[in-house]
Amino acid sequence: MSGMLAGKTAFVTGGCGGIGRAVCERFAREGAHVIAADLALQDELPDQVEFLSYDVTDESICQQTFAALAERWDRLDILVNAAGNEIEKTIEDTTLEEWNRIFAINVTGMFLTSKYALPLVRQSDAASIINFGSYDGYIADPELAAYCATKGAVHALTRAMACDHGPEGIRVNAVCPGYVNTPM
């Protein structure tokens, strides 16, 4: 590998599953110190990747996590908001509880994590926030109404964050994959 992330710090939500895990592994191979933040550790992680139990939907956990991280690190170079969930239903078949839960994970979790990470991100001279959207935020697929709605919200939130924090030197972008062979 190139070592292009040597000395960099990265925090990845959803870091133990699917795409998030792949991001953590690649960042570690490139030399970054990585925290894989997820609800549970599913499999052993590479040496340079530290697991942290983290619930993107719990504001107090988000706040406490970044307060504690600020005592360990002087900056956060890369924040990856990869935590996500999917519901395969039409709106008619989706319960309000399911609707609220997917928004809590896919949108509110990104908001809370970014909100509390920003003070550390501002300390980096090469800051980057990467939000995971989806092509389903642009083009809808059948029986994915709630998921498509959350990803459309992620795209709008990403653009707004870029407008607000780009002038501070913080790059904010969305990665919008199509179907990827992961458990989700």
Q: Which residue has the tokens 């990747």?
A: 49
Contact (Cβ atoms closer than 8 angstroms) between residue 154 and residue 110: yes
Active-site position among 54, 116, 138, 147: 147
Spatial distance between the Cα atoms of 101 and 108, rounded to a whole number of angstroms: 10
- Please indicate whether residue 135 is annotated as part of the active site: no
Closest C-alpha among 149, 171, 169 to residue 159: 171
Closest CA to 148 of 135, 159, 130: 135
Query: Which residues of 16-163 form beta strands (DSSP E)?
Result: 33-38, 49-53, 78-81, 128-132
| Element spanning 173, H or E | strand 171-175
- For 75, the 3-state DSSP assignment is coil
Tokens of 127: 């800051």
Task: Give one word for 18, left, alpha or beta, with left for phi > 0 and alpha for psi -120 to 50.
Answer: left
Q: What is the CA radius of gyration of the chain?
A: 16
Task: Please report, as a single letter, which amino acid is at residue 18.
Answer: G
Instruction: Point out the residues that are catalytic.
Output: 147
